[in-house]
Chain A
């Protein structure tokens, strides 16, 4: 779940 949240935030920075 932490990785999913991290990924979502990563993609939101684009």
Chain B
């Protein structure tokens, strides 16, 4: 059986919001080290890989490996019923056909309980292979989200060009073109505001802004984002 409690439901709310546009149904693979999810989007062009470590929960208990088939649209709707600061407990019994969620307000005067029916999801064993990337860019996640949103007004694709001292995001469409150049900054007060470019060799690659905008939804989860690029390898965000 699985029993896991998060101090703030907002963590799972943000995760589900970031994933739900890409993944319809997928397994939460639960074991004693945590809860993992690997799933390609329905168009089979992007992989979502998520790991919620057991240490992030208190308590966390998982007696044996179980795969919980989740419909993310349903889970997203249920998570909307949770207050951001609510305690969240998720439970699944042996051979469970439901995932139980309990939201408890901070002063314990409101307790909501929901059961979501589990599904059988055919699972491929997928992951992101270890690769030495030509360029690794670290930047504030809000800045990345804004760049993707701004350049969407011009084109459905963006070309990311990483050189020694700058990263250029370029969008070119029927009605015009636009570009945003981001330069590394070292001496910033907040680590999240840092921009770094680590380069083995310059790269210039094009990607679908639709997907980058989906990925950027995860920017509420962390202050900074890392983009790893190489020729002939998927962009890792």
In the complex the two chains form, is B44's CB within 8 Å of A7's CB?
A: yes
With the chains together, A14 CA to B130 CA distance in Å?
Answer: 7
Take A3-B45, A4-B45, A7-B45 as given contacts and tell me if A14 and B40 are in contact as well, using a CB distance cutoff of 8 Å: no
Using CB atoms and an 8 Å cutoff, list the residues of chain B in contact with chain A: 38, 40, 43-45, 47, 124-130, 233-234
Looking across the interface, which residue of chain A has its beta carbon closest to that of B233?
Answer: A10
Number of interface residues of A (CB under 8 A): 9
CA distance A8 to B125 in the complex (A): 10
Which residues of the partner chain B approach A10 to less than 8 Å between Cβ atoms? 129, 233-234
Interface string of A1-14 (1 = CB under 8 A from B): 00110011011111
B129 and A4: CB pair below 8 A?
Answer: no
Q: Are B45 and A14 in contact (CB under 8 A)?
A: no
Say whether B44 contacts A8, CB under 8 Å.
yes
Contact check, B234 vs A14: say whether CB atoms are below 8 A apart.
no
Q: Which 7 residue pairs are nearest across A and B when measured between Cβ atoms?
A: A14-B127, A4-B44, A11-B126, A14-B129, A11-B47, A13-B129, A14-B128
Q: Which of A3, A4, A14 has the most CB of B within 10 A?
A: A14
Q: Pick from B44, B45, B124, B130 the residue with the most CB of A within 10 Å.
A: B44
Q: Please judge, given known A-B contacts A3-B45, A4-B45, A7-B45, whether A12 and B125 are in contact too, CB under 8 Å.
A: yes
Could you say which residues of chain A place their CB within 8 Å of the CB of B126?
8, 11-12, 14
The reply to whether B129 and A8 form a contact with Cβ atoms under 8 Å apart is no
